[in-house]
Amino acid sequence: MALLDTLDVGEDDYGNLFDVVLGGRAYRMEIDLNKFANFLTASLWDAEGNALVNGEKLVINQRLFASLNSNDYPIEDLVPMDESGQETEVNGDNFGDTVKLTFDDRPANGAGFDTPVAETNETSNTDTDDDTDIDLESDSDE
């Protein structure tokens, strides 16, 4: 059972404009799938049809339109999220199934439930426990 409200967007909606109310204001939105790279993007227009955002990539657990600071943009948090915390990315295979476009209306203090934290698919080759020093000076006599 979902703990947060979601925006019902499915594969049949890709590439089609739909109306959405965010923060009490009317917008038009479009979700597109890049089939070659298997990621999704969101575009947003105001009620008068003025383009506000074109092709912002959906990133798991990252608020859409977060970097935009203007009264023209929604104040409501719309987040691609897998409430189970299992998914590490948003793609055409999981969006609308395990990953939903979620209205994150929890209080700012995070009360309500824990934010899902999925393991990332990023790796680090840094060995922080190794105290080995590399001698870059040459020992040869020239």
pLDDT digit of tens for each residue in the chain (142 aa)? 567 889 999 899 999 999 998 888 899 999 999 999 999 999 999 999 999 999 999 999 999 988 777 777 777 889 999 999 999 999 999 999 999 999 886 655 555 555 555 555 544 444 445 454 444 454 555 4
> Residue 101, Cβ neighbours under 10 Å: how many?
22
pLDDT of residue 65: 86
Which residue type is seen at 107?
P
What are the C-alpha distances in Å from 22 to residues 16, 64, 74?
A: 18, 12, 6
Q: Which pair of tokens denotes residue 24?
A: 């009490």
Q: Can you give the pTM of this predicted structure?
A: 0.71
pLDDT of residue 136: 46
> Residue 71, Cβ neighbours under 10 Å: how many?
6
Segments making up each domain of the chain, as ranges: 6-103
Please tell me whether residue 12 adopts helix, strand or coil conformation.
Answer: helix
pLDDT of residue 77: 84
d(CA 43, CA 28): 8
pLDDT of residue 24: 87
pLDDT of residue 89: 97
Q: In what order do the strands lie in the sheet with 78-81?
A: 6-7, 100-103, 78-81
Q: Which pair of tokens denotes residue 140?
A: 């040869």
Residue 4 per-residue DSSP state? S
